[in-house]
Amino acid sequence: MRQRRKNLLKYAKKIDCDTLVTFEPENLFYMTGFWGEAIGLLEKNGKTTIIAPELEVGRAKDESEDCDVITAERGSGLISTLIEKIKKNHVCTDCQNYSTMLSLKKSVSHLKSSTEPFYNARIIKDEKEIQILKKASKIIDEMFEICSKKMKVGQKESELQTILMTYAMEQEMFDTGYKSTLNPLIIAGGPNGALPHAQVSQRKFKKGDLVVTDLTLRYKGYVSDA
């Protein structure tokens, strides 16, 4: 985690910033080890702070690495607490909320909106991340094997999804949480396979069907897609 933070600050310095503030859960997780509702703050000396609503504080303390965790009320309380800590700094943030950016700009004179430091740091995976991704890919391969063994005529797409997700959850793999889909997987038989992002239905597989199976799941915070 210490090396990750050094890399983040290195890329922040390239755009004339000495402090990083993240609102996005993926970047918060990368920077702190905690995935949840909170704001992450990384200062030039490496000090890392999580500002979280009261309901998240306990988990943030347990799951984060080498972070100060402080509590604030949701909404304006989180922002005002953050501002007190960064108003004199040169700040880069991944904030995508217009009203939040307006609030920050009123008090923080040196403020940039950019995902560049996070993107550049995250693009090269460390050994821990590589091992997680390898394990995730192995589980996805095993799920395809299950498909070939468990798929049968008369079975519903939703039934096959249940079999696959049961196995996935036993391996600690979970839905990605993407907003654009109602189902964790794409299982599309026959004519449904012509739809690029088909939703899993109650249609039963028929003899001669071509079946599209697209498995995208999250493992220990990282997405594996096949």
pLDDT tens per residue, range 36-54: 999 999 999 999 999 999 9
> DSSP E strands: which ranges in the chain?
19-22, 39-42, 48-52, 68-71, 90-93, 110-113, 173-174, 185-189, 211-219, 222-225
Average pLDDT, the chain: 95
Which pLDDT score, from 0 to 100, does residue 192 have?
Answer: 96
CATH of the domain at 202: 3.90.230.10
Query: Per the structure, how many domains does the chain have?
Result: 2
156 and 98 in a single domain? The answer is no
- For residues 80 and 61, the answer to whether their CB atoms sit within 8 Å is no
Reading phi first (left if > 0) and then psi (alpha if -120 to 50, else beta), residue 117 is in alpha
134 and 219 in a single domain? The answer is yes
Asked if residue 181 has pLDDT above 80, the reply is no
13 and 106 in a single domain? The answer is yes
> Which of 100, 122, 144 is a domain's end point?
122
CA distance 9 to 22: 13
Q: What is the mean pLDDT of residues 54-78?
A: 96
- Can you give the pTM of this predicted structure? 0.88
Instruction: Provide the percentage of residues in the chain whose pLDDT is more than 70.
Output: 100
Torsion sign (Cα): 113, 102, 39, 221: negative
79 and 159 in a single domain? The answer is no
* pLDDT (tens digit per residue) in 69-127: 999 999 999 999 999 999 999 999 999 999 999 999 999 999 999 999 999 999 999 99
Residue 120 one-letter amino acid: N
CA distance 186 to 177: 14
DSSP codes of every residue in 100-148: HHHHHHHH-SEEEE-SHHHHHHHTS--HHHHHHHHHHHHHHHHHHHHHH
Asked if residue 189 has pLDDT above 80, the reply is yes
